[in-house]
């Protein structure tokens, strides 16, 4: 196809980063994830209503499961469709046969308790509620989610599911169902093609791009994806999960404070961790950024959650 025809079908990749949806875990219905079209420009990127999407957030019921040495395969049904979710096992689950492989920091009894807590959250049965976040992939012509985070959701009175069903339609109305617009002349929903790009380069287009950039950065900060370690006129932003010193600081706080009698049983509460890391590392760290770090550390098996808001270190 001619290049102009390809670009008219989807936004140019140079503009994808200006869409706030691109950097977020999109809370889409499974039906729409299965029907999204894959990008012609870059495989692994998909489009819903011209929004570039590569990672999603799904809540649903397990309707089938398969277990392998390194991963679980869960079929997740959110009421609109079923999608396969590939969920990699943590080191703790893979080494459950030999407690000595988990390290010597904790006693064998404590390691067993941590392992049981990890199993309760990651080893699900059919009919249980699961939340999965991760990039979308197409393997053997089948759409699936490669989970970066997954866990069992305890929802005895369906409060989580009701809140989810109320929130997702609002996200559709406010964001997903509105096509991403970027032009200097003020036209609504223009086709994305090469002729549109010069229009963006004018003075008003530059102002619009600058404003969009500020809005995108604000969204990323709200999501915890980036943060400003030090507030200054330079406005330097750091990608949260790539700040190795931050990851070490959080891990050290949890490891050291887990030894204290006050936190020995349940572990450190997320608000305590936030306060301690702010004092040691950065006063500007947000709760959202900390939660992203905690999920990263848990996926790497550096820490484990003993509840929805308590953590201990290995």
**Residues of the chain with pLDDT > 90: what percent?**
39
Predicted confidence at residue 214, as pLDDT, reads: 83
CATH 1.10.10.10 for domain 238-313, yes or no, is: yes
What's the pLDDT score for residue 109? 64
- Residues 6 or more apart whose CB falls under 8 angstroms from that of 13 comprise 39, 41, 42, 45, 52
Q: Which of 222, 88, 62, 76 is nearest to 148 (CA)?
A: 88
Q: Which residues contact 58 (CB under 8 A, 6 or more apart)?
A: 27, 28, 30, 33, 76, 78, 83, 85, 131, 132, 133, 145
Q: Which CATH number fits domain 3-176: 3.40.50.1370, 2.40.50.100, 2.40.50.140, 3.40.50.300?
A: 2.40.50.140
Percent of the chain whose pLDDT exceeds 70: 79
Give CA–CA dist 266/258, Å, rounded. Answer: 9
What is the pLDDT, as a whole number, of residue 200?
43
Q: Which helix (H) or strand (E) holds 311?
A: strand 310-313
Report the range of poorest mean pLDDT among 174-178, 277-281, 295-299.
295-299
pLDDT for 153 beyond 70: yes
d(CA 201, CA 184): 8
Higher pLDDT, 108 or 44: 44
Mean pLDDT, the chain, rounded, equals: 81
pLDDT value, residue 121? 65
Whether 143 shows a pLDDT value over 80: the answer reads: yes
Tell me which of 116-120, 121-125, 215-219 is least confident: 116-120
Say what the pLDDT of residue 164 is.
Answer: 93
Domain boundaries, given as residue ranges, for the chain: 3-176, 238-313
Would you say residue 41 has pLDDT above 60? yes
188 against 227, higher pLDDT: 227
Residue 16 confidence (pLDDT): 87
pLDDT value, residue 20: 87
The pLDDT confidence band at residue 26, using thresholds 50, 70 and 90, is very high
pLDDT at 180 over 80: no
Tell which wins on pLDDT, 167 or 89.
Answer: 167
- 3-state SS class at 52: strand
Of 138-142, 153-157, 204-208, least confident by mean pLDDT is 204-208
pLDDT at position 10: 79
User: pLDDT at position 17, please?
Assistant: 85
Mean pLDDT of 103-123: 63
Q: What is the pLDDT of residue 38?
A: 92
**Of 293, 301, 243, 245, the residue nearest 273 (C-alpha):** 293
Q: How confident is the model at residue 116 (pLDDT cuts 50, 70, 90)?
A: low
Answer yes or no: are the C-beta atoms of 277 and 290 closer than 8 Å. yes
Least confident of 45-54, 122-131, 160-169, 199-208: 199-208
61-74 pLDDT, tens per residue? 999 999 888 889 99
Tens digit of each residue's pLDDT (9 = 90 or more) over 220-276: 888 888 998 888 777 888 899 889 999 999 999 999 988 888 888 888 999 999 999
Residue 209 has pLDDT above 80, yes or no: no
- How would residue 206 be classed by pLDDT, with cut points 50, 70 and 90? low
Are domains 3-176 and 238-313 of this chain identical in fold?
no
């Amino acid at each position: 196809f001619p290049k102009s025809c390809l670009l008219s079908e989807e936004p140019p990749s140079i503009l994808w980063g200006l869409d706030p949806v691109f950097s977020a875990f999109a809370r889409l219905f499974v039906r729409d994830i299965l029907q999204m079209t894959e990008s012609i420009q870059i495989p692994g990127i998909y489009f819903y209503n011209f929004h570039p999407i590569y990672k999603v957030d799904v809540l649903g019921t397990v309707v089938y499961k398969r277990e392998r040495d390194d991963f679980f395969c869960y079929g997740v049904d959110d009421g609109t469709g079923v999608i396969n979710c590939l969920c990699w096992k943590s080191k703790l689950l893979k080494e459950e046969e030999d407690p000595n492989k988990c390290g010597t920091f904790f006693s064998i009894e404590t390691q067993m308790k941590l392992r049981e807590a990890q199993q309760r959250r990651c080893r699900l049965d059919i009919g249980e509620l699961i939340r999965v976040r991760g990039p979308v992939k197409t393997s053997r012509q089948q759409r699936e989610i490669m989970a970066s985070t997954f866990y069992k959701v305890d929802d005895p009175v369906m409060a989580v599911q009701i809140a989810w069903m109320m929130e997702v339609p609002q996200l559709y109305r406010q964001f997903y169902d509105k096509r991403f617009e970027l032009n200097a002349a003020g036209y609504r929903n223009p086709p994305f093609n090469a002729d549109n790009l010069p229009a963006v380069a004018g003075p008003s287009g530059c102002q619009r791009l600058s404003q969009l950039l500020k809005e995108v950065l604000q969204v990323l900060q709200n999501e915890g994806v980036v943060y400003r370690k030090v507030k200054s006129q330079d406005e330097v932003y750091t990608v949260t999960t790539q700040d190795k010193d931050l990851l070490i600081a959080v891990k050290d706080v949890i490891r050291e404070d887990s030894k204290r009698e006050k936190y020995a049983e349940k572990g450190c509460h997320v608000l305590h961790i936030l306060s301690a890391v702010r004092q040691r590392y950065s006063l500007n760290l947000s709760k959202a950024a900390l939660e992203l770090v905690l999920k990263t550390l848990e996926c790497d098996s550096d820490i484990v959650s003993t509840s929805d808001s308590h953590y201990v270190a290995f």
